[in-house]
Amino acid sequence: MTDTLNASVNSQSEVPNPQFIKPPQPPFSKGESKGGLRVIPLGGLGEIGMNMLVVEYEDSIIVIDCGLMFPEDYMLGIDIVIPDISYLKRNIEKVKAFVITHGHEDHIGALPFVLNEIKAPIYATTLTIGFIQEKLKEFNLDKSTEFIRVKPRQTVSIGHFDIEFIRVSHSIVDGVGLAIKTPVGAVIHTGDFKLDQTPVDGEVLDYARFSEYGENGVLVLLSDSTNVEKEGYTVSEKEIGNTFEEIFRESHGRIILAAFSSNIHRVQQAMDVAQKFGRKVCLNGKSMVANVRIARELGYLKAPDDLIVDLKEMDSLPPEQVCLITTGSQGEPMSALTRMAMDDHKHIKILKGDTVILSSKFIPGNEKAISNMMNHLFRRGAEVIYEKVSEVHVSGHASQEELKIMLNLTKPKFFIPVHGEYRHLIKHAQLAVRIGIPSENIIIAEDGDVIEVTTDKIAKADRVESGRVFVDGKGVGDVGNMVLKDRLHLSQDGVVIAVIALNQTTGEIIYGPDIITRGLVFEEESAELLEEAKRIVLQTLAGVNKEALTDWAEVKEEVRKSLRRYFNKILERRPVILPLIIEV
C-alpha cells in the first residue's frame, strides 16, 4: 500500500396503504428536529443516482453516501446533477460524518462539491477512499479532508450511533452495507448489493452478520431496489470471465474492451484472459488508467508488470497480441471509444478485424449515443459484441429472489425501499408484503421526506427542502429550471434578433430593421419571409405612439409581440424574439 494513498487515511481499531397509492405529501417546512430518530433521503429515491441519505438523532447527523446523477435529455448543457444540501447546511453543526458504502459515482461523485460547504470526516473502506482521494485531488480537497479507513465487521462510534460495516457483493470491490445501532433500535442499510455465490475475489456477502442482526431484531431495513423488476437471481460476475475466454479464443485481431473503470473485477478478468491468450494489455481513458493504478497499488487488482504496456507501444505489437481496455462504453461524446469510432483519436484507429466488446449495461438515456457509436465502429470494419448479442455484462444489483432473501435474513419490523425510481420502490414494497411484512409497516419515501421512527411506529412527519442542483462548467446551482426551459426553447424553436437603430431624441429610424435568425430558417432561402418580417417591424413602429418611441422597453415589447404573432402564423413556430435597439 503506497504512502501517497495512505497519507491522509487514519486507521481505527479494528407506510403506504395496501394498494401503495402515493399518499398526500405533508407541507414543506424546515424540518427542525424534535428529537427521536429521523431518516431523511436527500437523493436517490425516485431516481437512479444522486444517492444521499440522512440519519439523524438529536444533535447527531450521519450522511450515507454523497452521489451525483448524470443529466437527463432535457438538461441541456448540464454536466452533472447533485443533491440539494440546504438541510445539511442549515444543520451543519450536527453533521458528524459522511459514511460511504462504495466507490461508484452515484455514491461519491458529489463529494467535491459538498465538502466545499460542509467539512466532516469520511468513513469508507480502503479502495473507496482511494477513489475518493483521486477525485478530490482535482479540487485540491484531498489533503484537507479527514479519512477514516474501515473494514468489514468493524464498528465505529459517531455521535449517537454505533455503525458496523458489513461486506456485500456488488459490481465494485470493497462495497459494504451498514448496521446502524441507534437509541431506538438497529437500522440496516444494504448499500448496493447482490448475492454473488462465486465473486471474483472470493469475498461473499456476509450472510452471518445480516442474519445475526435479524435474530437480534432489526427495527428498519433500507434495501437496494434497482433490480426489483428482474425475476430470479442475478448472474455471478465470474460468468463474464467464461464469456471473455470464448471471445478471446475466436478473435484474431485486436480486442478493444470497454467497461466502467470502477469495475475492477471486470478489468481483472479481462487481464487474466488476456494473459492466458498471450495478449498485452493497454489502458485508455483517464479514469481507467487512474483506477487501475489505485487498485494495483492497494492490492485489489493483480497483474504482472510486463502484462501492461504503454498505449504508444500498441502499434508495434501484432494485432493478435493486443488487448485494449478503455472507457466510453456509454457513447459519451468526448470519450475515448467514441473518438475511436469517429476516427478522431490521437493514438488509436479502428482497423478491419478488430473486436470491440461493450462490457456494460446501456444506461437509460444513452441508447441513441451508444447505437450511433456502434454503427460507426461497424462501418470501420470492427466486430462489435454487446449485451443484447452476448453475455458480456451482468448486473451488480440483486434480483427478486435475492431481495426476498435479504428481507428474510434481516426480518425487519419496518421497511423502506431505497435506490430506485418510484416504480422500483413500489415493486419492492409489494415484494416485502408477499413475504409477510405488513403494508402499514412499509414507507414509500421520496427525496425530502422526513421519516420519524420509534420502537413501535414509523411515519412521514414532515418535508425538508430537497431537489436537484445543476453543475454547468464551473457554475454550481446557478442554472435553474428557467434557464433549462430557455435552452430547450432555443433548441426547439430557434431565435430571431431584430436590430433597429433609433434616434434617441426623436425616435426616428436611422438603421434597419435587420432580421437575424438562428435555428429557425436558412436565411438565404427565406429572403421573402425575412423581408415580410422587416415590414411587420416597420408597421409596428409606425403604430407606436410618438411619445412612446423613446421608451425603449415599450418599443421592444411591441416589436416582440408582433414578430411572435407573425412567425407563429406563418411557420407555426414560437422562436425566442430578441429586439435589439441601438440608440444614436
Strands (E), 122-243: 122-124, 147-149, 155-158, 161-167, 176-182, 185-189, 218-224
Q: Which helix (H) or strand (E) holds 367?
A: helix 367-379
Q: Are 480 and 467 in contact (CB under 8 A)?
A: no
Could you report how far apart the first and last alpha carbons of the chain are, in Å?
71
Q: The sheet that has 468-472: what strands, in order across it?
A: 80-83, 468-472, 475-476
Q: Judge whether residue 478 has pLDDT over 60.
A: no
| CA separation for the pair 131, 126 (Å, rounded) | 9
Which of 170, 51, 31 has the alpha carbon at shortest distance from 99?
Answer: 51
- What pLDDT is recorded for position 491? 64
Q: Which helix (H) or strand (E) holds 427?
A: helix 422-434
| CA separation for the pair 571, 566 (Å, rounded) | 8
Residue 26, preceding bond cis, omega within 30 degrees? no
Confidence band, pLDDT 50/70/90 cuts, at residue 17: very low
- What does DSSP assign to residue 520? S
Give pLDDT tens digits for 359-409. Answer: 988 776 677 888 999 999 999 999 999 987 788 899 999 999 999 999 999
- What pLDDT is recorded for position 463? 94
Q: Are 88 and 30 in contact (CB under 8 A)?
A: no
Q: Judge whether residue 15 has pLDDT over 90.
A: no
- What does DSSP assign to residue 442? B
DSSP line for 392-417? ----SS--HHHHHHHHHHH-EEEEEE
DSSP line for 300-344? SS---TTTB--GGGGGGS-GGGEEEEES-TT--TTSHHHHHHTT-
Share of the chain above pLDDT 90, in %: 62
- What does DSSP assign to residue 184? T
Q: Which helix (H) or strand (E) holds 559?
A: helix 552-571
Q: Judge whether residue 538 has pLDDT over 60.
A: yes
Confidence band, pLDDT 50/70/90 cuts, at residue 490: low
Q: Judge whether residue 159 has pLDDT over 60.
A: yes
| For range 194-218, the mean pLDDT | 96
Q: Judge whether residue 29 has pLDDT over 50.
A: no
pTM of model > 0.85: no
3 state DSSP class of 425? helix
Confidence band, pLDDT 50/70/90 cuts, at residue 275: very high
| For range 440-467, the mean pLDDT | 94
153 vs 532, higher pLDDT: 153
| CA separation for the pair 308, 384 (Å, rounded) | 23
Q: Are 115 and 72 in contact (CB under 8 A)?
A: no
| For range 444-451, the mean pLDDT | 96
Range of weakest confidence among 66-75, 111-120, 410-419: 66-75
**Domains identified in the chain and CATH numbers:** 36-233+395-476 (3.60.15.10), 238-385 (3.40.50.10710), 494-583 (3.10.20.580)
Confidence band, pLDDT 50/70/90 cuts, at residue 531: confident
| For range 470-485, the mean pLDDT | 59
